[in-house]
Structure formats: structure tokens, C-alpha cells
A and B are shown apart, each in its own frame.
Chain A
Amino acid sequence: MNPRPLSLLSGGLSALLALLLVSALWDTPVHEGVSASVAGAMGHTGVAHPVTAVLLDFRAYDTLLEMAVVLLAVLATWSLGRCDTLPARPVQGPVMRGGLRHLIPLAVLTGGYLIWAGGAGSGGAFQGGAVLAASGVMWVLAWPRRPDLPAPLGLRVGVTLGVAVFLAIGVAGLPLGPGFMGYPPGWSYGLILTVETAAACSIALSLVLLFLGGRPWRDAEDG
């Protein structure tokens, strides 16, 4: 199809879809969704913040699979090939590096805080992991030489850790009573914090590796 008719067709259909969506949303009833159930169950979970409770307890299985998506994305980019060059040139001069020297520890601190804060307020593994990853990306970008990344096994374990810990805790629920992806009563808070920490580390590492866009080590086929 020629670009122009295609564009017209797509534009027309998109506009129609927009109208339909708006009118459909207009008609939907106001309801409180699941908030009542969540509020009712908050007493039975170890964390105080409802969003974290949904993420890591009520719908923990979603979150497990979501972390699996991140890990799978890393494996998929690795399978595409090696990252030959870093995505950007390092910036020369003392300002950048001096600034980073302060920024990176600060970002790590912030990330760590966010993970911990997720138990009670806004925050959590993903927010914390994202901040940590940002510091990692800055580190990668600022480094003048090829990054001296850990050996493949270390990397692999690092990216897998979050899913593995979560899965292990989920499986532990089977013999312990609450079932798959359930926490034994009283253990919720500790286990959720463990999962959050592992998840944040893995996510941070994964995001940095995704930023590289390929395997950061040489394989036989790379020649």
C-alpha cells in the first residue's frame, strides 16, 4: 500500500478508535475496584503500603513473571551478539568525573532508601532498582576504558538472582503451608524485603546490561 493512503486509513481508524474509546470510558461505572479487598487484607500482609502489598503479596505471581521478563530481555539481547563498543564516548575533563564521583554514591544511597521505603510508603524494588541502574549507566558512560565487568558467571548469577530468590521463596510456600507464591504467616515482611532487595539488585544490573545492548564478553563465535 502506498504511504499516503495507508496514512489516511490509519489516521481515520485511529480517530475512530479514539472516539470509541472515549465514549466507552465515559459509560463505565465508577467503582472502587479491588481497593476494598486490598484494604481488608492489609492486616494479613507484612507491609504497610497497599501498592507494595499488591505487587509483592497479593499479585506476587505477576511480579515474579515481570522480573522474569526483565531477565529474559537480558538473555535475548545477549543472544543477539556482543556489544562491541560502548554506546557513548566518555567525556573528557575533570568536571564530569568529579561530579560522578559524588553522584553515583548518592544514587546508590537513594536507590537503597527507595527499596526500603517501599514497605511503608512510595517506593519499592523497581523504583530503587531504576535509580541504581541510572547510577550504573552513568558509571558505564563515564568510564574511559572498556568496563571491567565481572566474569560471565557472576553476571549471569547477578541478573538471575532476583527471579531465583523470588521463585525459591514462592516454592517454599508449598511445603510450608500457604502454597505456591504465598508467605508463611508472620514471615511476610522479612521475605518481602528479601525479595525486594534481590529484585532491585537484579533489575539494576539488568537495566545496565540492557543499556549495553549485547553481551559484554567474548564468545567463541565472536572470533
Chain B
Amino acid sequence: MEAQGGYMLVAILLTSLAPGVTIFFLREEQFALRTFLNMAGAVFKVVLVVALLVGVYREGYTYRFSVTLLPGIDLVLAADALSLLFASLSATLWLVTTVYAIGYLEGSPRRSRFFGFFSLCVSATVGIAFSGNLVTMLIFYEMLTLATWPLVLHRGTPESFRAGRIYLAYTLFGGSVLLAAVVWLTVLAGSRDFTADGYLSALYPEHGTALTALFVLLIAGFGVKAALLPLHSWLPRAMVAPAPVSALLHAVAVVKAGAFGIVRVVHDVYGIPLAVEMGVMRPLMWLAIATIVYGSVRALFSQDLKRRLAFSTVSQVSYIVLGVSLAGPLGAMGGLVHLVHQGVMKITLFFCAGNFAETLGIHRTGEMGGVGRRMPWTLAAFTLAGLGMIGVPPMAGFITKWYLGLGALESGQGWVIAVLVISSLLNAAYFLPPILIGWFGCPAAPWDRERFRGHRLETHWMLLLPTLMVALLALGMGLLASAPYSPLGWVSFIFGVAPGHGSEGFAGGAGP
């Protein structure tokens, strides 16, 4: 199939890159211009992504753009169904988060710098989504590191500097491992575009050891950002960043970039058949399970709200890896759909946490008593997303767990369902208490610092509106899961499987 206008992909990158770079050089007081640039870029990006979605779904187009970097090595941007899944998630949530961030940071210093790096982050994330080969993905992956670090430092407190240092240490290390792995792979197999079922099978079993070592290195490299088990501890610390950063980056962009990278490596570099043959999927599954359980347990014992959410992220992102490692289409669907579902639900939770902190000064779960009377809308959103995380039907999280369960059965590993059940119980154990005391409890003490009292809305509209929007989105994704452009619908399109059906055809990779 002929590749269509690759310039569209460049344009999508530029919609956030150009405003981002411009914003750096704006003066602090140029509020209107900065806001306009941010919003225009975000809206334009969403429009372009929708155009691509339609193009890929209706017309079956593929989009590709490439520049030569070195002999035999191209920088490739390509839009296939899988990349659009991640790109549309990032674009949509960027738009919402931009509104939220403008409200959240109102009146705080150094907003030009903040929004500049914020836009660079989104550019990097979208770049990862549209990367057509591993080299390109590595490039954007490192760019994401570079652009996120200043946001972790943004508050400038000693604590955030400590977090920044740790974040940098982990991600630079991960980046280096990834670089070494990608170079090695390129030496071994050349720089090839991602293809369904991978491109390495010809090298097996001749280079079996090298391929296994490479797999470990690649997973470690991406695993740092995906917060897989031994490499996760930067994530809870990075929660010192402002709420929109935690929300968009640490719940969506950064960890998802890692998870997305793992998906690409397993599906489109190695390919499921090869990965299964090499016997690397089972260890990956164990790693994912360990991370799921560990994250949930740590979340249960975290009293700080954002920290609890962060550990919950550690746990939930590994659902994606788990889905992939089940090595069947249904499990993979569950994993991929969770890429979107977890993003939307987790961003809702972070927005709510930000609203509580900004409006009432609530930082710990114990302080949430009676918050439902003061901030019913926010708590409602929190409740919806929390229930979704637990996996209560008909929320989006249920769809994930359902497909993961089906996948486990399909691959003959039914015991994984037990893991899902345990994890759900743990989820319930740490999400239900704050929800319950929020609705039914009483404030233990007066709020630390209460703002927006007596306003028509419970908090600033720019904080409330995005929160409600993403909460509704999370609800809608569950209720309308079988619609064509829903996440599940799209994931089914990726795998060429009708939603709700079994494994009549496993394409195994990206692209119809």
C-alpha cells in the first residue's frame, strides 16, 4: 500500500514542538499569547490525529515519513493502527491536561518554562507513538527523558531535586541500556521498520543467545520508564512534580512510553512466535505479575494520596505487559486496551488529587473524610475512576480485566485469573476506603487551606471541567466499548478480531 502524506506526521509533531519552543522565549506575563499557543497546538493536534484515525480506519492508508540519519539508518515516522492508539490517547489527554494545567498553575512563577517543557514532552510522546523503527523510538524516548526532567524539578524544592536526580539516574541508565541494545540489534539485523510478527526470526536460533540478551536489555531499557519491578522506584518520588505533570506524564506519557516500547519490541521486533520460541515470554509474565502485586501492596500501605496513585500506576501499567506476555490475541487486546483505559482513569484520579490538594490542601488519604460534601463533583469523578481501576462493570477497567482473563484462558494459563482477582481485591482495598470516608465520613479537622469557598463551583472551573470530562470519558469507554472508535474497537481493529469474539485470526502485530 502506498504511503500517504508523511508530512501529516511531521505536522503532528510540530503542533506541540513549535508552540513549545516559542513559549520558552515568551515573557512570564504574556499569558494570553501563551494560552493561545498551547490551546491552538493541542486542538490542532487532536484534529490531525482524528484525520489520521479516519484515514487509517476508513481508507486503510498508511502514513510514512523518513529522513536518513546514517548509512542504512533512517529516522522513520509511521502511522499504523497501534501507533494511533497511543497517539490519540496522548493528544486527547494533552488537550484536557493543558486546560487543567492553565488553571492549576494560575499565578505561579515560571509558567513559560513549564509549558515549554510540557509541550516538548508531548512532542516526544507522540514521536514515540509514531516511531516507525527502534532507532526512531530510541531517539524520542531519550528526548522524553530530557524534556520531563525539568518538570520534575519544577517546584524547585530540595525534595523535587532529589526526585529529579533519581529520575534522571534511572532514565539515563535505561536510555543507555536501550541505546546499547538498539545499536547491537542494528548491527545484527540492520535498522528495519516495525513489522507485524517481527523481523528477527531469520536470526534464530543461530544468534539465540544474542537475541535473548538483547531482549533482556530492551525490556530493561523500556522497563525503566514502564516502572517494571526493580526499576520502578523513581515513579513514586517523581510525584513531587505539579499535579498536571504527575497526571499527564507519570500516569500517561512516560510510563506508557515504556509500556508501548515493550509492546513494540514483543510484537513488531521479535514477534510473538519467536518470543515464545525463545522462551522469554514466561519470565516477562512473571515480572509483570510480580510488579502488579508489589505495586498494589505498596499502594495499600501508602498514606499519601499521590504516592498511592503512583504505586497504583506501577501496578496497573504492568497489566499491559501482562497482556502482551500472555502471547495470545485476547490477552494482547486486554493489555493494549488498558494502555488507554488506565491512562484515562489514572489521569482522572490525579486530577482529582490535584483538585483536593489545590482546593482544600488535602494530601493524605486520611484527610479525605467528608470531602464529598464540600466537593461532590470531584469526588464523584474520583469514585468513577476508582471503581474503574478496581474493575467494577461497566467501567473501562472491567473491560481490561475481562480480556486479560480471556487471554489467560486462551493461552491455557487460567491461574493468571487468580492474580487478577487478588490484584482487584487489593485495588479495592486501597481505593474504597478513601471513597467511602469521602462520601460518608466527616472532616477530622478543618481543611488546611480552603479556597474557592462560596463560589458557584466547588473549585476553579479549569480544574473541574477537565476532571469531569476525563471521568466521563472513562465511563464512556466502558459503556460504549463495542463502538468502532472506542479503545476496544480500535484494538480489535489492530488485531483484526471482532470485539467479544475469540481467536479466529491473530495478526500479531500492528497494522491491518
A and B touch in the complex (CB under 8 A): no
